[in-house]
Structure 1
């Protein structure tokens, strides 16, 4: 034990117990075992994770990562593969929504390009795996930190002080740790909110995802695993991500349940029969944001603390899991070479590994939202022509589906290729 730091070997502290932080913690312990101490700090660890009914699309690369970490088998029966995808572009009042673009849902070897799963199920599986692998889970928040040469001293909300080689800020888009480190944040609002809910419907979705591009923003219908009811019948379910102009949202959510259901039906359509809200709709303001640097002195930003993008492509969580895969690999390789995981040259590798990918995804989603969230006739004609051309080009469609699956480059982190660290 170092007298200067009070640590036995390197210690990584992760502030924030979301899916990216949990994945990083598990990846480090699976790779290094007792060779590293991993502490996760978050007051949310006191809550039952199954209470989180939000749903996420897990891209194929992220699923390979979860398989390599040994958690996918625990949740595979709760995950719904996306078997195909349909894209339409219309006005809300149009009687017909023509299909402009379709995608088969498979990539290499008939692997689904994405699965839908609830956040609660995935969080519970990762938490259990973290406990089994020796992650120190502490239901305390991180108040701040002070770098002291070869370590950083981390102040917890309960008054405890914890030395660490590296602090990972995974504390969300409004990261206090990022602010304390003096790292700038470039952002702009979209004047849109995302309304999310789980919908029950009469007919089977058959694994199809649908995205309607409407003037106020995209409306996505994402298939969820059916639930077996007490009477032996299946309850068919989907998740919606309803993008709406921000000034319309309060009136929508404050309206009577039957009135809100009518507004939902106008967007959802009748293809799945009678529909009903299974969970209470919740709205979240949408914005773009990216940190000027993903690292500071003995500090690395992870997930939403580093970047926030529009949900139009469903890539927000997958970007965070990519962060976790990259940072876990860099830390693991550094420690195996006897290097300090919090040293500037090690953290610079993380900055270089993530900057281009995040910038490209942020610009793409920003551009798509600006292109499709309007009702300018010449723009509509051009974009619909473009969608139709893509639909007739199998090679280009394969490229886009691999992009959506996260299978973009051979130099992707090993975990995203399904390889152990």
Structure 2
């Protein structure tokens, strides 16, 4: 019988398995992944990794492998304008250094992250089985029995669902969600440009939604371009010449000529918040617990925060001789994470609704608000600390760079 079975072999699932196994090597942990082997290694996207998450990856021993491909974000610029505006005034800037030698975030290629986490999992002896999905589970007094797609079963004391925003395990457990669709899609691609970006990230609030330019290593940037869904589909289907012309209108010319060097994909945007993060012998983590708008770049980082809290909850319960899958144990994890997640979900929802429009009164009000933050150093520091995931003494140890 397993101690912990993780369903989902992406970044959050691998991190959850690694975090618990590293702190409690005697626990028997396994990961199953519905996708065939090699799929995650083909992901061309990049993710913003906040300082707290990079500290956790350092504890795992994964960050040294990731670091050569990670681009520090040295500065963040926020503008609010129309696409046709000849000048985009800067309303808010954040210096990227949270503390000496550590920026508040890095941009990391997803392939580098999954490769490093998979390597740590293998060194810890965590089996990762591909092409397997859970089709059901049945709870018992000491464990649950998980039915798999190939007809086999696994018994585990704790089942961790990291199977995405459309989590089947969440639905099987009868956990309801708060869900709505924004009618927007996020276009994601990578572009090369003539001039260096100097580690500067930019977020342009345009009437159709935020347009984020995020620096990668070399003269490259990752884009998260929000448009109404029909327009996003048209742009992705267009040839590169049309796409690049529309892109240049939004990107501007300060980095010179642009060239698309990655595949173009559009992802529907919405909000999904699980009403509960746990059920008997089940814990949700990552997108299975929450899917939010990318306006803040916090989606994956919320998942890493889940990992830190869940791992500490499980490991401490194990050290005390408690049942790691017991609902009374898992409720500590839920209380640790649910408020922070709902707060972030509501914040991104409000920001998206506030900035994804062209109403003059709202534009004046929000620009005044951005300008106010820009001229209040203590408030800016607070926002930077929040963005970087700075924790207090009550926060999970892994996010502070401490082993459990």
Q: TM-score, normalised by structure 1?
A: 0.94
Tell me the residue number matched to 1:3. Answer: none
SS in 1 for 2:29: strand
CA distance in 2 between partners of 1:409 and 1:45 (Å)? 40
Tell me the residue number matched to 1:151. Answer: 143
Tell me the residue number matched to 2:235. Answer: 252
SS in 1 for 2:17: helix
CA distance in 2 between partners of 1:388 and 1:199 (Å)? 30
Alignment of 1:262 with 2:233, yes or no, is: no
8 Å Cα contact 2:240-2:260 kept in structure 1:
no
**Residue 48 of structure 1: CA displacement?**
5.2
> Runs in 1 of length 4+ with deviation above 6 angstroms?
none
Tell me the residue number matched to 2:72. Answer: 81
- Paired positions, count: 403
Higher mean C-alpha deviation, range 311-320 or range 255-264: 255-264
Tell me the residue number matched to 2:178. Answer: 186
Spell out the pairing of 1:104-123 with structure 2 (5 A cutoff). Answer: 104-123=95-114
Alignment of 1:43 with 2:34, yes or no, is: yes
**Offset from partner CA, 1:194-235 (integer Å, 9 cap, x none):** 000011111100000001000000000000011xxxxxxxxx
Higher mean C-alpha deviation, range 176-185 or range 246-255: 246-255
Alignment of 1:411 with 2:394, yes or no, is: yes
Q: Structure 2, unaligned stretches of length 5 or more?
A: none
Q: 2:7 aligns with which of 15, 24, 29?
A: 15
Q: Structure 1, unaligned stretches of length 5 or more?
A: 1-6, 227-235
Spell out the pairing of 1:260-339 with structure 2 (5 A cutoff). Answer: 260-339=243-322
8 Å Cα contact 1:49-1:121 kept in structure 2:
no
CA distance in 1 between partners of 2:187 and 2:233 (Å)? 11
8 Å Cα contact 2:66-2:116 kept in structure 1:
yes
Tell me the residue number matched to 1:64. Answer: 55
CA distance in 1 between partners of 2:56 and 2:36 (Å)? 23
Tell me the residue number matched to 1:356. Answer: 339
SS in 2 for 1:165: strand
SS in 2 for 1:325: helix
CA distance in 2 between partners of 1:406 and 1:26 (Å)? 20
Alignment of 1:169 with 2:152, yes or no, is: no
Tell me the residue number matched to 1:240. Answer: 223
CA distance in 2 between partners of 1:245 and 1:279 (Å)? 22
SS in 2 for 1:197: strand
CA RMSD across the alignment = 1.0
Q: TM-score, normalised by structure 2?
A: 0.98
